[in-house]
Structures are given as structure tokens and as C-alpha cells.
Amino acid sequence: MTIEILPDAKALALRAADVFALAAQAAAAARGRLAAALSGGETPRALYHALARQQFAQKVPWRRVHLYWSDERCVPPGDPASNYGMAHEAFIKHVPIAAANVHRMQGEREPEAAALAYDEELRALAKLERPASDVPVFDLVLLGLGRDGHTASLFPHSPALDEEDRFCVATEAPGGSPRLTLTLPVINSARRVMVMASGADKAGMVAEVFEGFRLPKAVPAQAVAPVKGQLLWLLDEDAAAELSSTARG
């Protein structure tokens, strides 16, 4: 695991965009395609705006990029709450990526039906590995961190945290709003996972993730631990404010 602390949210977004571009180049060269799972939230939004900028857009081989999602709200794609809709407006519509390469979760469908459909799409991705894999292997999974310790739509004490066979499940956020989420076996099979957190309101939970008791059922972000891949945490100074000097490296 690597922790990088950037001066502010803008620097974090630019660093994340650079990581995305380099991952895309490396995956395209090695395997002919990049499979990336995107996240929702304000910190990823800043990354997506950066990807639409010419300095990064020109570095990404968009025709070899396949976009998936780590989670989604159960709303139509045009709804302001849609993670797909946010990414589409922020960068997808501004870059030369084929529509067939954008694999969104169908949040407008009944949640269980949508989860099963995405599970099948992920199984198709697994078969593209050489040799074929039992679990989809993303080149890059982007995640955020909630103030309650959730990541993707894996919330504290959710049954989704115990799922071992399904790759995508329907779940609920606190308060009962339906969501779709990748499961931990998928996230932890990725070649690289990048978790982004910015803002002083995340500082307490960032410290809890790294220096608190290991309680992944209560702090789901602690369960993010790629089996063979790399784990990169990108924090701005505000989010890292409560980390000890030891954790900061």
C-alpha cells in the first residue's frame, strides 16, 4: 500500500488523472485494453473534469478504454444523482470513447435485476483475461471514502460485505435508498485500486482506516486489500490532517 498526500483537492485530482492516464497506457500496451471501474462523489468528479482537459485527454488511448462502475444509485441515467450521469457530463461526452466501451450499471431497472445483469457483464469481462479468470480483473478501480467508512456502496454492517460468489449485488444506503455495488472479491482482484479522499470532514475516518482497530465490517474501507495488485491512497492535506507522522510516512 502507498499513501500519497497532496497539497489540496486540485493537486489530488491532477495526480489521480495522471495515474489514470499512465494505467491506460500500460494496460493498452500489455493487454490491448484498459478496464477501469469508476466511482461517484465530488472527489472523483474533480478527477473526471481533469481527464477531459487536453493535457490528459491526449495521453489516454480512449479507443482502448472500457469503463465500468464500482457502484450506482438506483436512478435513471439522466438523474442528477446518477454516478454514470455525473461521469458522462464531466468527461465521457468530451473524449473519443466508443459507446460500446461504456458499461454502465442500469440503475433505472429493478435493483436485483440490474445487479444480476451487471454480474453477467462482469463474468464476460473475466473471460477476456488470458488465461480466463474466475473473477473479473480490473486494471484500475477508483474508490472514494464516505464519512462513515463506506467505499463503493459497501456500507457498515451491510450483508454485501460478506458476498463471495456474486460480483455485483443490490444493497441499500443508510436511510434505505437502493444501490448497486461491486463486491469485495472483484475490488480485491484488481491490478490497481486507487482510493481518493479530500476535505477536513474525511480526516477522522482516514485516521480510523489506517490507525484504528481493524474492524472491516464497521469500516468497510479497511477491507480494500488487493490480493495481487497495488493499493494507492491519494489524500489532500485536509483529509490527512489527523494521521500520525508514522502513517504519513
CA-CA-CA-CA torsion sign (51, 54, 55, 59): positive
Query: Residue 41's pLDDT is what?
Result: 87
Q: pLDDT value at position 57? A: 87
Average pLDDT, the chain: 96
Per-residue model confidence as pLDDT tens digits over 168-179: 999 999 988 999
**Strand 192-197 relative to strand 140-143, pairing:** parallel
C-alpha grid cell, residue 172? 441499500
- For the stretch 151-167, pLDDT in tens is 999 999 999 999 999 99
| pLDDT in the model for residue 162 | 97
Question: Spelled out in words, what is the top-level CATH class assigned to the domain 2-135+142-207?
Answer: alpha beta
- Quote the pLDDT of residue 81: 96
pLDDT for 245 beyond 90: no
The pLDDT tens digits of the residues spanning 68-95 come to: 999 999 999 999 999 999 999 999 999 9
Residue 130 has pLDDT above 90, yes or no: no
Distance CA 29, CA 26 (A): 5
Mind listing the pLDDT tens digit for each residue in 105-128?
999 999 999 999 999 999 999 999
Give pTM, 2 decimals: 0.96
3-state helix, strand, coil in the chain (%, to 5): 40, 20, 40
Name the percent of the chain lying above pLDDT 90: 92
Q: In what order do the strands lie in the sheet with 65-69?
A: 2-6, 230-236, 192-197, 140-143, 34-38, 65-69
- According to the model, what pLDDT value does residue 138 have? 98
Cis preceding-peptide flag for 76 (omega within 30 of 0): no
User: Tens of pLDDT along 1-28?
Assistant: 999 999 999 999 999 999 999 999 999 9
Q: How confident is the model at residue 246 (pLDDT cuts 50, 70, 90)?
A: confident
Alpha carbon 82 to chain centroid distance? 15
